[in-house]
Structure 1
């Protein structure tokens, strides 16, 4: 089914209102999810909505949080999200980072006691709108085994940089530090497809293409998949995200990060509060005039786009380019939803007495 952006946005906002969010928070949370769907990152859009509802029903999400700054200097801060939606807490933190950057050139904010914050790109792109370089990361439920390990100790731990360009869309490097995002496994499960080699290992530590392997004790692999292909680098990136997001802020880290799924309880020996994020903003004009930077980034984009390729039918893809193209197309033509997601959303409509999803 293809649903218009406005219809899906209205439906999603109404779900958050039914959960008890304020009008402002419901609109913001819906905006984060819809932006993900618009950009073609279907695993983190409305497909996650039922997950937030289940966590709220388990009283693990506070829909009326008292988000507060618990520590700060002129350029840094730590924010406590009061168990609120990460979709709301992370933008609060990024706005704070941008305020600090506006005054001092850069701003860096760590967050504790939050929840899943959607796509990292949403938060990093907030800074781009102010001619700043945006930076966002979060730790996540432990689904990834470090290199040589059979234990699940890290999350998919995404990281994002966003750079403002001139005549071209921003350059957006938004990626999981695991070989694949968990959402891609969920999509494969819904479609009944296998996943590529190098994404998952079974409980025995051997590679598998079964997207259900996590349910039987398997684990996602770090970016790089195995030691021979550089998995230690993915492990290092993931560790960096975990430390900046949680060890620095006072959130849970490593195997203590609470799971996103409601049927699994958080560890009974937490080392911190909730999930952690880390966001930052840097003023471009703290380094050189904005117009000069944008002109040269445009030149960078053009040179890489014109690169000679191995296959003449392929071209170098600039980071963020596919997502920008998807956003333009889907704004004009609507957002496609697979049947499983439509069924989930209609289940929520019935739960909260809302109108069912339609074209």
Structure 2
């Protein structure tokens, strides 16, 4: 089913209002989720909405959080999200990073006691809009085994680097540090499809293409899949995200990160509070004039786009380009939702007395 963005935006805001969010928080949370769907990252958009509501039912999400700074220097801060929606907490933290960067050249904020924050790219783009370079990362529920292990110890732990350009769109590197994002498994599960070899291992550590393997003791693999193909690099990137997001802020890290799904309880005796994020912003003009940087970014983009091709029919893709193309189409034509997501959303409509889709 394809549904217009304005209709989905109104519906999503109404759901967040129904669980007690303020109007401003409901609008912001809906904006973060819709940005994911618009950019073609279906795994992190409205497919997650029912999950947030289920966590709220379990009292693991606070719809009226007192988000505040608990530690601060001129260029850094730690924010406690009071178990609020990560969709609200992370933009709050990024705004602090931007304000610090405006004064001092850069700003860095670590966050504890939060929840799933949507796509990292949303937060990185906030800095780009101010002619800054943006950084956004978060740890997540333990689904990924370190290299040489079959124990789930890390999340998919995405990281984003966002760079402004001039006449071209920003360069947005937004990626999971696992071989695949968990949301892609969820899409495969809903669609009844297998996943590529190298994404998951079973509980014995053998490759499997079954998207349900995590439920029977399997685990996702780090970026690179195995040691021969560089999984130690994916493990290292994921560890970096976990440490900056959680060890630095006082959030839960490694196997203690609370699961996004409501039917699983958090690990006992966690060392910290909630999920952690790390946000950063750097002023380009702290290094050189913005116009000069943007001109060189445009040249960088154009040169990479003109690189010789293995297949003439397949151009080189600049990071962020597919998402930009998806957004242009979906704003005009609407957002496609799979039947399982539509079913979840219509169940929310019935529950909260809203107009269904």
What TM-score do the two structures reach when normalised by structure 2?
Answer: 1.00
C-alpha separation in 2, matches of 1:125 and 1:196: 31
C-alpha separation in 1, matches of 2:154 and 2:266: 15
After TM superposition, give the deviation of residue 311 of structure 1 in Å: 1.1
After TM superposition, give the deviation of residue 66 of structure 1 in Å: 0.2
Q: Deviations over 1:160-183 (max 9, x none)?
A: 000000001100000000000000
After TM superposition, give the deviation of residue 314 of structure 1 in Å: 1.0
Q: Deviations over 1:87-143 (max 9, x none)?
A: 000000000000000000000000000000000000000000000000000000000
Alignment correspondent of 1:71: 71
Q: Cα RMSD (Å) of the superposition?
A: 0.4
Structure 1: which 5+ runs fail to align?
none
After TM superposition, give the deviation of residue 201 of structure 1 in Å: 0.1
After TM superposition, give the deviation of residue 68 of structure 1 in Å: 0.5
Alignment correspondent of 2:93: 93
C-alpha separation in 2, matches of 1:197 and 1:2: 31
Alignment correspondent of 1:278: 278
Q: Deviations over 1:217-250 (max 9, x none)?
A: 1000000000000000000000000000000000
Alignment correspondent of 2:136: 136
What TM-score do the two structures reach when normalised by structure 1?
Answer: 0.99
Structure 2: which 5+ runs fail to align?
none
| Counterpart secondary structure, 2:278 | strand
After TM superposition, give the deviation of residue 59 of structure 1 in Å: 0.1
Q: Deviations over 1:251-310 (max 9, x none)?
A: 000000000000000011110000000000000000000000000000000000000011
C-alpha separation in 2, matches of 1:186 and 1:213: 11
Alignment correspondent of 1:189: 189
Alignment correspondent of 1:213: 213
C-alpha separation in 1, matches of 2:193 and 2:265: 29
User: Where has structure 1 moved over 2 Å in runs of 4 or more?
Assistant: none
C-alpha separation in 1, matches of 2:207 and 2:324: 33
Alignment correspondent of 1:150: 150
After TM superposition, give the deviation of residue 35 of structure 1 in Å: 0.3
